[in-house]
Amino acid sequence: MNGHDVYIRGVGYHPFGRFPDTSLKVLAATAALGALDDAGLKIGEIQAAFCSNAYSGILNGQESIRGETWLRGIGLGTTPVMNVENACASGSTAVHLASMAISSGNYDTVLVVGAEKMFVNDTNRTLAALANSADTEVMGNIGMQFSAVDAIRVREMMEEEDVGAEAFEWITMKNHAHAFSNPMAQYRKPISMEQVRASRMISDPIRLLMCSAISDGAAAVVLSRKPGRGGVRIRASALTSSPWRLSADSLPGPTIAANKAYEQAGIGAADLDLAEVHDAVSPAELMHYRELGLCGPGEVASFVAERASALGGRLPVNTSGGLNSRGHPVGATGVAQLIELTLQLRGDAGERQVPGARLALAHNSGGWIGEDPAVSAVHILEKTL
C-alpha cells in the first residue's frame, strides 16, 4: 500500500459457535463494541464502516443493507457503511478496502465488522448456500461440492509431497490443541489422532473431524492512522482473483497474492514469525505451506515431521486453531485471522503466545473458479513498538 500507514488499533469479537437464539445484529454489534472498547474510542470517532457477510440473504433473509442494519442500533446511523461480499474472503476483502481508504487519506479511523449466522437448523440449506460460492454453471452441472474439490487437491498433494493420512491427522490434532486456549474458538477440546482417524469419511481422504463446522460469530477491528497498543501495522494487503492457468508453471492464486504481499512488505516468507492460513479442511494447511512459501516444493513432509508449524516450532501456523477448530462463520473469518495475529504481536495471546513475534501473515481464500479459489487475500502485520 502507498500513502499513510494503517494500524490495527482495536479488536473485538463474538465467540464462534452455534447460537440459535442470537441474531446476526447482536453478533455483529458485540464484536463492533468490543473493538471500540479495545481501541479506547467512542462511537463518534468512527468515520466509516466496512461490513462483510456472504450468506445473510440466503440464510437470514437480509439483503443489500446488512451493515446498516447491524450498526445503526449502536449509534452509527449516520456513518457511511460499505457492504462487502466476497465468499469466504469477505472479511479480508473488507480489511483490504478499509486499509486503502485510510492509506488514501480519506479517513483517519474506520471500523471493519465481519459477521455470519450459518446455523439455521437446516444443514442442507447452509451447505446449499456454500455451494453457490463456486461457478454454478460449471460446478453445479457436474454436482461437485467443495469437499470433493478439496479431496482432489489433497490427493494430488499426497503424490507430489509424499504425505499421507497420518500428517492430516496430526495437523487436525495440532489445531485443536492450539484452539484450547482461544476464547473465540468454537472447539476448545483437544482431540487425538485416533479420534480423527475414526471419524466418518466425507470425501477420501478427508474425514469429518478434518472439516470446519457450521458456525455463527462475528469479528471486528478498528483501523486507524494512529497506532494502538503494540503498534500493530498492516505492512501489506494483497488481493487476487482466480488466474487462468495457461501453462504448467502457472502460479496458483494464493501464491500470486502472497508474492504481492511479500513485495509490498519488502520481506520474504523466511522473515515471518507465525501465520494464519485458510484451512477449511485441515489437510489444506499443508498445501498452503508451499503455496505461501512457508516451505519449498517437496519439503512439506519434512516440515510436518519437524512439527515446525506447532506452537514451539520454528513457524507456528494457525495458533488460533484455524478454521477447523476456531470455526468458520464465513464473513467473519478473514477478520478473525487478523485478530489472532494482532493479539500475538501485542503479546496478548496468553497460553498460545509465540515469543518475540514481530511479523505475521494471514491468508484467506474464498469461492472456487477453474483450478483456484475465486479470491485469495494475504495480509502481513508488523509489530512496530
Residue of 176, 278, 288, 328 with catalytic role: 328
Q: List all residues 6 or more positions away from 119 whose beta carbon is below 8 Å from its beta carbon.
A: 18, 19, 20, 126, 214, 215, 216
| 64-to-23, 52, 57, 335 alpha-carbon distances in Å | 17, 12, 8, 21
Q: CB of 210 within 8 A of CB of 196?
A: yes
Q: List all residues 6 or more positions away from 98 whose beta carbon is below 8 Å from its beta carbon.
A: 48, 50, 110, 112, 223
For 319, half-sphere exposure in the C-beta direction (CA atoms, 13 angstrom radius) is 30
Residue of 88, 178, 288, 295 with catalytic role: 88
Residue whose grid cell is 483490504:
96
Stretch (H or E) spanning 330: helix 330-346
Residue 178 annotated to the active site:
no
Q: List all residues 6 or more positions away from 52 whose beta carbon is below 8 Å from its beta carbon.
A: 83, 84, 85, 86, 90, 91, 93, 94, 112, 113, 114, 115, 331, 332, 334, 335
SS3 202: strand
Quote the cell numbers at residue 283: 489437510
Kindly calculate the radius of gyration of the chain based on its CA atoms and give it in whole angstroms: 19
Q: CB of 336 within 8 A of CB of 114?
A: yes
**Maximum Cα–Cα distance across the chain:** 56
**DSSP letter for each residue of 270-327:** GG-SEEE---SBTTHHHHHHHHTTSS-TT-HHHHHHTTTTSTTSSS-B-TT-HHHHH-
Residue 51 annotated to the active site:
no
Q: Which residues of 98-133 are buried (b: 16+ CB within 10 A; e: fewer)?
A: bbbbbbeeebbbbbbbbbbbbbbeeeeebeebbbeb
Q: List all residues 6 or more positions away from 252 whose beta carbon is below 8 Å from its beta carbon.
A: 243, 291, 371, 372
Catalytic residue IDs: 88, 328
